[in-house]
Chains A and B, each alone.
Chain A
């Protein structure tokens, strides 16, 4: 596609359930990022993939959060045993290289609501 695609666009889940969020980056982009935006707050970095290098997981808030990416393709963010504080918009971005060197393109996000 022409841009970064995220699915689902909205997800409502019960507390304690696992959820999986998907990001399709722009073809050829080696860098992929996940961010979280809680209501009324700024974007919070979660994880960064760059090509086949080990991902930077320093922003993941707990071991309930994990993400995978195979090569330069789709990425999935998994949240296990969801909690109400996980409710947020989860944004994915990709760029040809990293943010320092090339423009980042963001998806429209997945709005997660944990009830």
Chain B
């Protein structure tokens, strides 16, 4: 079946540091890939997505590239802010079933 593996947290960074959260997936065919973010006290919200190989999703300074050859969708941001402190979830979906399969989440804490 489909599965998503992402690095365990917490990840603690200083402001303006570079952030990478690794995500790899197992799925047949060509899933769509997503990053969701959950800020403290809020519901999960879509951060970015990519629907085919080599697509790059980007939003709020975050980027992730769909790498079919390595089955990866790593999330990056060049200069984090305290407001980026949140839990980040990598996820995939395929047309059949229309369900999101999530990774375990990575908590990121950015210190001033």
Contact = CB atoms under 8 A, between A and B. Distances in A.
Interface residues on A, range: 20 to 34
Contact of B99 (A33, A91, A105, A106): A33
Chain B: number of interface residues, binned into ranges: 20 to 34
Nearest to B32: A100
A45 B98 contact: no
Given A33-B99, A50-B98, A105 B32 contact: no
Contacts of A56: 97, 99
A41 B94 CA distance: 22
B43 A3 contact: yes
Contacts of A99: 32, 93, 98-100
21 contacts: A3-B43, A33-B99, A35-B102, A42-B102, A42-B104, A42-B105, A43-B91, A43-B100, A43-B102, A43-B105, A56-B97, A59-B99, A91-B43, A99-B32, A99-B93, A100-B95, A104-B100, A105-B45, A108-B41, A108-B42, A109-B43
Of all A-B residue pairs in the complex, the 6 with the closest CB atoms, nearest first, are A98-B98, A106-B44, A106-B43, A43-B102, A42-B104, A99-B93
